[in-house]
Amino acid sequence: MIERIGVVGAGQMGHGIAHVAALAGCEVRMADVSEDRLRAALEKIGHNLDRQLRRGVIDEYTKAKTVDQIKITTNFADFGDCDLVIEAATEKEAVKRDIFKSLIPHLRDDALLATNTSSISITRLAAATDRPSRFMGMHFMNPVPVMLLVELIRGIATDDATFEEVRELSLRMGKHPVAAEDFPAFIVNRILLPMVNEAVYTLYEGVGSVDSIDMAMKLGANHPMGPLELADFIGLDVCLSVMQVLYEGLADSKYRPCPLLVKYVEAGWLGRKTNRGFYDYNGPDPIPTR
C-alpha cells in the first residue's frame, strides 16, 4: 500500500496533490526549485484547508494533522523512503526529463513514479526513466481538492500491479479514477478543448456574440459555465497548446486551432489570469470583449 508520497513541483497542481494525499493520511514530501515557492504552496494549502473547514468538510483536528503530514524540501535525497513520487512540475518535456534524471538515484528500486502531465506521451516519459513498468500517468483536474476525477494512464510498459496500486490510492484520496489510453490529451481535454475551440470558431464566423454563445450552451446544453467563460478560466494559452497537441499528435484537420484563439494569445489576452480574454475582468462584472 502506498503510504509515503513525494510530489515534485509545488505549483497549482502540485500543492493540490500534496493536499489531497496528506488528507488521505499519507506522509508527503513536496519539492520545488526554491524555499519561497514551497512556503507559498504551504500557505495556499492552509487557505484551502481553511475553506474546507468553514464548509464543514473537515474539522480542526484533521486540518492540523494534514498540515503536519506535509514536509517541504529542495533536495531529492528526502524522497528516499517514498513509495510513489508524482511529478507535477512545469509542462516542458526537458524539465521533466531532468527531474527524473536527478530524482531516480535517490529512489528505492521498487518505488513507483507517476506524472501529472496534460499532454506529453506517458510512454516517452517512462522510457526516460529506469522503471517504465512502474511508471504511469495520474492526471488530476484543477483545483485538485475540489475536482473528483483523476485520469489514470498506462504507458505501453506499465504493469498491472502499478496500475492497481495507483488506482487504490486514487480511491483513498476520494477521487474517481477513470482509465485512459496514452493518446494526445487523454479523455477530458480531448473532448472539452475541441468544444471550446468550436465555440471560438462560432464567434469568429459571427454565428453568435460572446454573450449569446455562452448563454446558449448554459441554457441549451445545461453546462454550468459557457465555453468562452470556461476558456478564460482555463487560460487561452493552455487551450491553444492543447489544440496544438491534438492537431499535431493526431494529424487531423478537425483539431485546427481557431485563428481567433491564436490572435487572442498573440495579444497576451489569456483570460482571467491577465484580466482580459473573451471577457474583460477589470470592472466589478465581466464584460464581453466581442
Just list the catalytic residues.
118, 139, 151, 189
Q: CB nearer to ligand NAD: give 33 or 267.
A: 33
Contact between 133 and 23 (Cβ < 8 Å)? no
CA dihedral 144, 149, 150, 151 (to 10 degrees): -140
Distances (CA, A) of 162 to 140, 149, 166, 169, 206: 17, 19, 6, 11, 49
124 to 163, contacts with ligand NAD by CB under 6 A? 139-140, 142
| Residue 99 interacting with ligand NAD (CB under 6 A) | yes
Q: Which stretch binds ligand NAD (CB under 6 A): 30-38, 127-135, 199-207, 219-227?
A: 30-38
Contact between 57 and 49 (Cβ < 8 Å)? no
Contact string (CB under 6 A) for ligand NAD, positions 176-215, x = contact? ----------------------------------------
Cβ of residue 259: shortest distance to ligand NAD, in angstroms?
24
Residue in 19, 21, 23, 32 binding ligand NAD, rule: CB under 6 A = 32
63 to 92, contacts with ligand NAD by CB under 6 A? 88-91
Residue in 5, 22, 24, 31 binding ligand NAD, rule: CB under 6 A = 31
> In 10 A of CB 241, how many CB atoms?
17
| Residue 8 interacting with ligand NAD (CB under 6 A) | yes
Q: Report H helices in 71-187.
A: 93-103, 122-127, 160-172
Helix/strand/coil for 27: strand
Instruction: For residue 223, give the amino acid letter.
Output: H
| Residue 14 interacting with ligand NAD (CB under 6 A) | yes
Q: Would you state the cell numbers that stand for residue 72, as one nine-digit string?
A: 517541504
Distances (CA, A) of 250 to 34, 67, 247, 253, 271: 37, 43, 6, 9, 27
Residue in 13, 111, 138, 228 binding ligand NAD, rule: CB under 6 A = 13
Q: Which stretch binds ligand NAD (CB under 6 A): 49-57, 111-119, 121-129, 256-264?
A: 111-119
Helix/strand/coil for 110: coil
Determine the length of the chain: 290
Residues that bind ligand NAD (CB under 6 A): 8-14, 31-33, 37, 88-91, 95, 99, 116-118, 139-140, 142
